């Protein structure tokens, strides 16, 4: 007989819980749009992070899932970068990772952009991360629910070209806390329950150069999944001019 643990019960979201997560995500998307519209050469990471915080307050969602990550240029190689005085310049990669809470339920999203036309290396790395994410989503769509197997599909793909540069788990459950069960990790034995909300966030990071992470939140459904993230992520959408 299987014992159902509290974390397994928490992982499955009812309609109201899911509505709160989706609402939090829609607010985050609105905030991202405002931030992108206000980006300019010479603005600092900390100024941009403050704009994110003010924008959430303006949208009536002052509680953030976690302190916003804003990383310009080579700072994007730092997975948990704390925004500082670094100023935006042409050719920079720009990484945003943030979310808010609605009635205690969190959202989480990462997008990486290019401030101006990206180099060939920047394009290749971006497209590799996007392909890794698409491979994972395709696997989930086919019905794969073993977290370790799903993590491995992205990790093996990225390791072929970029050895040991994917330095964190592929994703995690989201709910009343930003990281909850289940987890996409190399040795995870978790099985994704129908009704859980997961992040899928592959990334590649190169010290003193920069990094790319793309993160969506998905609802695990009986057949496949539903992507709860509405911000485009194709290469052309990632180029800001």
Q: Identify the pLDDT of residue 4.
A: 61
Is 234 part of any domain?
yes
Q: In this structure, what is the dihedral angle of CA atoms 4, 180, 109, 204, given to the nearest 10 degrees?
A: -110
Is 129 part of any domain?
yes
Is 1 part of any domain?
no
Is 57 part of any domain?
yes
Q: Identify the pLDDT of residue 3.
A: 54
Ordered strands of the 93-98 beta sheet: 69-72, 93-98, 109-115, 239-240
Structure tokens at 238: 């990632």
Is 233 part of any domain?
yes
Is 144 part of any domain?
yes
Query: Measured in Å, how far apart are the chain's first and last C-alpha atoms?
Result: 58
Q: How do strand 239-240 and strand 109-115 relate by DSSP bridges?
A: parallel
Triad 30, 33, 36: Cα angle to 5°: 150
Average pLDDT over the chain, rounded to whole? 96
Distances (CA, A) of 177 to 11, 12, 159: 11, 14, 30
184-222: pLDDT as tens digits:
999 999 999 999 999 999 999 999 999 999 999 999 999
Range of the domain at 33: 6-240
Answer left, alpha or beta for residue 193, where phi above 0 means left and psi between -120 and 50 means alpha: beta
More confident residue, 241 or 111: 111
Q: Identify the pLDDT of residue 1.
A: 43
pLDDT at residue 114 tops 60: yes
User: Which letter does DSSP use for residue 23 in this model?
Assistant: H
CATH of the domain at 28: 3.90.230.10
Helices (H), the chain: 6-11, 15-38, 45-58, 120-141, 147-161, 235-238
70-98: pLDDT as tens digits:
999 999 999 999 999 999 999 999 999 99
Q: Identify the pLDDT of residue 2.
A: 54
Structural domains in the chain (count): 1
Answer left, alpha or beta for residue 93, where phi above 0 means left and psi between -120 and 50 means alpha: beta
């Amino acid at each position: 007989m299987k014992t159902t643990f509290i974390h397994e019960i928490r992982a499955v979201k009812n309609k109201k819980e899911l509505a709160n997560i989706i609402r939090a995500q829609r607010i985050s998307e609105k905030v991202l749009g405002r931030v992108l519209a206000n980006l300019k050469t010479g603005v600092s990471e900390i100024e941009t992070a403050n704009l994110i915080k003010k924008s959430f307050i303006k949208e009536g969602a002052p509680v953030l899932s976690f302190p916003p990550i804003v990383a310009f240029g080579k700072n994007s190689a730092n997975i948990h970068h704390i925004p500082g005085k670094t100023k935006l310049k042409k050719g920079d990669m720009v990484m945003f990772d943030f979310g808010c809470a609605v009635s205690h339920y969190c959202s989480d999203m990462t997008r990486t952009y290019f401030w101006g036309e990206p180099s060939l290396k920047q394009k290749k790395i971006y497209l590799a991360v996007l392909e890794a994410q698409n491979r994972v989503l395709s696997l989930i769509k086919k019905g794969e629910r073993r977290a370790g197997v799903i993590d491995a599909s992205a990790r093996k793909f990225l390791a072929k070209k970029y050895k040991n540069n994917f330095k964190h788990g592929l994703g995690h459950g989201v709910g009343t806390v930003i990281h909850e069960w289940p987890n996409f990790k190399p040795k995870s034995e978790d099985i994704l329950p129908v009704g859980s909300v997961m992040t899928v966030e592959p990334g590649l990071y190169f010290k003193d150069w920069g990094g790319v992470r793309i993160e969506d939140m998905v609802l695990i459904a009986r057949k496949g999944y539903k992507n709860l993230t509405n911000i485009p992520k194709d290469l052309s959408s990632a180029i800001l001019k």
